[in-house]
A and B are shown apart, each in its own frame.
Chain A
């Protein structure tokens, strides 16, 4: 049976190999979270590395007390993301992937759909949401977390997460409509009465 996180963390304070196991367990999840937040593989790799180095540096200070190790790790990643956003807003840079995105997206959303790039349009709309809403969508859809787990990462109650999810969907729909994204009109549910 796999050792649980708490036992691994306790061991990792004295055994580097145990930290390696924690890394293996969470590297893909943290990377995916940061990839969707940044939209760039290079930045996601950079921030993933920083997240784990920071975790290693602070491991002796971490105490579970209702905050699982995974939630603690996501909080580190989230804080690094916030710093990354602040830095980027002062030193704007455009990644190659962002350039490709803008170029493909163009100004005409219908053409973007024709080029099968609806995904990029939706991702751009997600990244225009406030950070907590982006975080919620990524944790829910990419990481497949329960509301309880999301609440632990975000420091909110399950009820607050549920309510935020509803508001996030409404806001995202509005954002996509403002960008002229057509799928919401095209994809109507089948009429069961017929």
Chain B
């Protein structure tokens, strides 16, 4: 029985070769080259290579009819003209208005600082009056 580590490495190699074969097929190259490189994997590779070649012939690009394409395009553009201003307005409605947020934060900070200063002055005055008494 094969060492599990060897089996794992073989699986990884198999995946890499299948990936490389897909690339070779896409470029119109000759994939039998991999059998010469990896003769010990040939029995496992051959049926999968054959299937991939078949898939390349079966799964070819298909196109919608020109009539469908045009009619959908016209419908989408009409919808876009109606929806895009509404969507932009919706987006703008909930988008944070940074100038207002910064302004509010600045006013809040100023009020807090003034409050703390007023408190300190009042305490100082209280202490001074107690000292006089």
Contact = CB atoms under 8 A, between A and B. Distances in A.
The majority secondary structure among interface residues of chain B is helix
Contact of B73 (A24, A59, A123): A24
Contacts of A15: 84
Contacts of B50: 183-184, 187-189
A118 B69 CA distance: 30
Contacts of A192: 32, 35-36
Interface stretch (A1-9, A65-73, A94-102, A140-148): A140-148
B117 interface: no
Contact of A23 (B47, B60, B76): B76
B51 A138 contact: no
Contact of A19 (B36, B63, B80, B90): B80
B81 interface: yes
A19 B88 CA distance: 14
The majority secondary structure among interface residues of chain A is helix
B55 A137 contact: yes
Contacts of B51: 169, 172-173, 176, 184
Given A56-B83, A141-B55, A44 B64 contact: yes
Nearest to A138: B59
Contacts, number: 136
B77 A19 contact: yes
B26 interface: yes
Interface residues of A, number: 55
Interface string B55-84: 111111111100011001101110111011
Interface in A1-55: 12-17, 19-20, 23-24, 27-28, 31-32, 35-36, 41, 44-45, 48-49, 52-53
A188 B55 CA distance: 15
B77 A16 contact: yes
A115 interface: no
Interface stretch (A84-92, A104-112, A159-167): A159-167
B41 interface: no
A188 B46 contact: yes
A60 B55 CA distance: 38
A67 B5 CA distance: 36
12 contacts: A13-B88, A14-B88, A16-B84, A19-B84, A53-B76, A57-B87, A60-B88, A138-B59, A142-B60, A187-B50, A188-B50, A189-B32
Given A41-B64, A53-B76, A140-B22, 13 more contacts: A16-B81, A20-B76, A31-B64, A32-B62, A35-B62, A45-B68, A126-B59, A165-B15, A165-B18, A165-B22, A173-B48, A188-B46, A189-B35
